[in-house]
């Protein structure tokens, strides 16, 4: 019985991994610029145009989707666990908005961090919102209140961004709006390294808190009874999610939805509460979703994300998790 | 039975800002089932939380296995003493085995893996609490009686010396209450654990407890054997 369970677990993870490879391949093949792959591989002369498209346009897009999918789904999963709320996510709690404000300050108001670009500003914005939300979470027992607080904070932050937009030049405004629609096509070679480091750093904070994540849904006293420091791990997880969210927001724009949706799909497919399984599962699902949505780079990412992702979530929700009688959700 | 002092409390008084009790001493031995009896609001839960390290004592000292409880690291303490929470948040999709396996957390590394030995300890805890037939069912599918045994199984998997339980039988009917008291009594006998629980079931406390921590409702607390507890003034409030 147990053997078969772990077999099918690895099978499911392997299936998701295969899908990642397939979709990455598709991302490399499909695109507005067309050239013949036959010529590329079988002619003796290399076509510089084709190589350029492949390695400077499409490969960065694959990596952007992989990093963003990893970052946002892990951030979403961790936030839903820490706040014990199935609606939590980096976007809902205002963390993405915080990062956006940082970017807006650089793009619209001309604040500059020199060669470091947007990242410090976005990270500061994300941290600020995360810790505001955390402070409020200590005041309220009820985790629904927390979502209200998160939404209120994002309204204030969004209002600040609107004010910045109102008073800025047309050119700056255009680039900010384009950034806000989200895209996987903006990752440069320099950006690649920074994005990679941020994802590894954020992810390691969260992996280090695995024991906490596995127990936290049962309450803070329960966590303490297992010999874990609530304050230490809560801070680590929130730092990790802020880094992951800020990095994604900087390099791909504020991406809605992914962080909220992916954990639900992972719960439905793997039917476990163990983060040792949920984290890799969420990462693979998040990457697949990002790659799918990114297949049409001409369309703004956020529009595609919702058009494609919402039906998936509905399908998952209606086919499993909350369809139970007499079940109260903690 | 070798009786060693497991938990030693000196001149303790408990409460949040204001003291709920006058100061008192307790010496709890290994292999004892101790029931706490007292009217609501006299500090039973607060005493349990204080012993568990969740509430700071207002004065006095608590020694666990001869060492002050404040000198333990969180992890060390969780290997010696744990609270069995009877009504707390649950994750519906968590299975019984996954829940019981959380008891191995104080022995796990930071990636929270489980060794063969851990899995065996979990399996034993499941068998000791007679949960084998639904070990792989989700928590939401259990009755209150079954769920209370799952909570206890988690504490057994933690391999502690001292178990603290706050009103473990509050939601249970008569057969399940008897079953649970019987189970707890067996645990003290077979594993030489000390169990301290609060309850309002005076009759069952009389029947199963080795000793009683009596709250007189006026702030006095005393640990006595069952017979003298019911003969003393401390339990006068039970006469109604």
Tell me, what's the ipTM? 0.89
Q: Where are the domains of chain B?
A: 1-80+161-240, 90-159
Which of A260-274, B102-116, B172-186 shows the lowest per-residue confidence on average (mean pLDDT)? A260-274
| Residue range B1-80+161-240, CATH number | 3.40.50.300
Q: Any idea what the Cα angle at residue B152 is, between residues B148 and B157, rounded to 5°?
A: 145
Q: CB atoms < 10 A from the CB of B42, how many?
A: 21
Calculate how close chain A gets to B55, using CA atoms only, in Å. 11
Using a CB-CB cut-off of 8 Å, the residues of chain B touching A271 are 93
A219 domain-assigned: yes
A window 303-322, beta carbon within 8 A of B: 321
Q: Is A267 helix (H, G, I), strand (E, B) or coil?
A: helix
Total structural domains within chain A: 1
Residue B8 region by backbone torsions, left for phi larger than 0, else alpha for psi between -120 and 50, else beta: beta
Chain B hits for A275, Cβ within 8 Å = 112
Q: Is residue A272 part of a domain?
A: yes
| Cβ(B127)–Cβ(B76) below 8 Å | no
Tell how strand B5-13 and strand B59-64 pair up: antiparallel
Domain assignment present for residue A33? The answer is no
B56 touches chain A (CB under 8 A): no
User: Residue A146: which CATH number?
Assistant: 1.10.3470.10
Interface test with A, best of B80, B99, B102, B135 (most A CBs within 10 A): B102
Instruction: Please name the residue that has the structure tokens 């990114």.
Output: A294
Distance CA B187, CA B206 (A): 18
Contact across the interface for B74 and A227, Cβ inside 8 Å: yes
Give the separation between CA A281 and CA A265, rounded to whole angstroms.
9
Report yes or no: A142 at the B interface, CB cutoff 8 Å. no
Alpha-carbon gap, residue A240 to A92, rounded angstroms:
17
pLDDT tens for B81-103 read 999 988 777 777 789 999 999 99
Residue labelled with tokens 């070990």: B135
Query: Strand, coil or helix: what is B35?
Result: strand
Looking at residue A326, its pLDDT comes to 39
Burial of A243 (0-12, 13-18, 19+ CB in 10 A): buried
- The answer to whether residue A159 is domain-embedded is yes
Q: What is the pLDDT along chain A (330 residues), one digit of tens a residue?
A: 455 567 788 999 999 999 999 999 998 888 777 666 666 666 667 777 777 778 778 899 999 999 999 999 999 999 999 888 888 888 888 888 999 998 888 888 877 666 567 778 888 898 888 888 878 877 776 666 777 888 888 899 989 999 999 988 888 888 888 888 888 888 887 788 989 999 999 999 999 999 999 999 898 889 999 999 988 998 899 889 989 999 999 899 888 788 988 998 898 888 888 999 999 999 999 999 999 988 887 788 888 888 877 887 787 777 655 544 334 443
**Would residue A40 count as lying in a domain?**
no
Residue A7 within any structural domain of the chain: no
What pTM was estimated for this model as a whole?
0.88
Q: Which domain holds residue A55?
A: 48-319
Q: How far is CA A126 from the centre of its chain?
A: 13
Our CA angle for B131, B132, B136, nearest 5°, is 95
Q: How far apart are CA A67 and CA A249, in angstroms?
A: 11
Q: What are the residues whose beta carbons fall under 8 Å from the beta carbon of A53, sequence distance 6 or more?
A: A31, A33, A35
Mean pLDDT (whole number) for B48-60: 92
């Amino acid at each position: 019985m147990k053997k078969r369970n772990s077999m099918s677990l690895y099978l499911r993870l392997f299936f998701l991994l295969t899908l990642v490879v397939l979709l990455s391949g598709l991302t490399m093949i499909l695109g507005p610029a067309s050239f013949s792959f036959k010529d590329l591989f079988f002619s003796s002369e290399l076509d510089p145009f084709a190589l350029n498209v492949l390695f400077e346009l499409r490969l960065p897009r694959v990596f952007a989707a992989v990093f963003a999918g990893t970052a946002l789904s892990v951030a979403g999963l961790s936030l839903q666990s820490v706040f014990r709320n199935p609606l939590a996510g980096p976007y809902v709690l205002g963390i993405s908005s915080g990062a956006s404000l940082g970017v807006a300050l650089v793009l619209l108001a001309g604040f500059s961090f020199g060669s470091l670009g947007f990242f410090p500003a976005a990270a500061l914005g994300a941290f600020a919102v995360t810790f505001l939300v955390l402070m409020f979470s200590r005041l309220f027992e009820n985790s629904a209140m927390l979502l209200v607080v998160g939404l209120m904070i994002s309204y204030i932050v969004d209002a600040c961004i609107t004010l910045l937009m109102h008073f800025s030049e047309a050119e700056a405004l255009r680039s900010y709006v384009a950034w806000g629609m989200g895209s996987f096509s903006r990752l440069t070679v320099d950006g690649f390294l920074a994005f990679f480091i941020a994802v590894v750093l954020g992810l390691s904070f969260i992996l280090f808190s695995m024991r906490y994540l596995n127990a936290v849904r049962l309450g803070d006293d329960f966590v303490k009874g297992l010999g874990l420091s609530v304050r230490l791990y809560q801070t680590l997880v929130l730092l990790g999610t802020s880094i992951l969210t800020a990095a994604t927001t900087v390099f791909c724009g504020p991406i809605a939805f992914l962080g909220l949706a992916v954990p639900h799909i992972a719960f439905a497919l793997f039917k476990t509460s163990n983060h040792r399984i949920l984290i890799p599962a969420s990462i693979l699902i998040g990457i697949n979703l990002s790659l799918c949505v990114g297949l049409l780079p001409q369309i703004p990412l956020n529009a595609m994300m919702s058009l494609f992702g919402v039906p998936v979530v509905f399908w998952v929700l209606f086919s499993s998790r909350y369809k139970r009688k007499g079940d109260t959700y903690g | 039975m070798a009786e060693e002092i497991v938990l030693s409390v000196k001149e303790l008084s408990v409460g949040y800002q204001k003291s709920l009790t006058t100061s008192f001493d307790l010496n709890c031995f290994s292999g004892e089932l101790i029931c706490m009896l007292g009217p609501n609001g006299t500090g039973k839960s607060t005493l349990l939380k204080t012993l568990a390290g969740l509430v700071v004592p207002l004065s006095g000292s608590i020694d666990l296995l001869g060492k002050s409880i404040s000198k333990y690291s969180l992890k060390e303490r969780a290997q010696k003493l744990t609270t069995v929470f009877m009504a707390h948040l649950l994750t519906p999709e968590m299975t019984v085995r996954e829940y019981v396996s959380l008891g191995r957390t104080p022995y796990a590394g930071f990636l929270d893996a489980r060794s063969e030995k851990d899995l065996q300890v979990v399996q034993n805890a499941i068998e000791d609490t007679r949960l084998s037939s639904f070990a792989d069912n989700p928590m939401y599918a259990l009755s209150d009686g079954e769920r209370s045994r799952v909570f206890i199984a988690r504490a057994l998997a933690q391999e502690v010396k001292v178990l603290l339980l706050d009103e473990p039988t509050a939601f249970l009917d008569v057969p399940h209450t008897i079953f649970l008291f019987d189970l707890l009594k067996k645990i003290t006998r077979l594993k030489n654990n000390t169990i301290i629980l609060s309850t309002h079931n005076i009759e069952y406390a009389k029947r199963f407890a080795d000793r009683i921590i009596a709250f007189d409702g006026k702030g006095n607390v005393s640990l006595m054997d069952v017979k003298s507890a019911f003969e003393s003034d401390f339990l006068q409030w039970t006469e109604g």
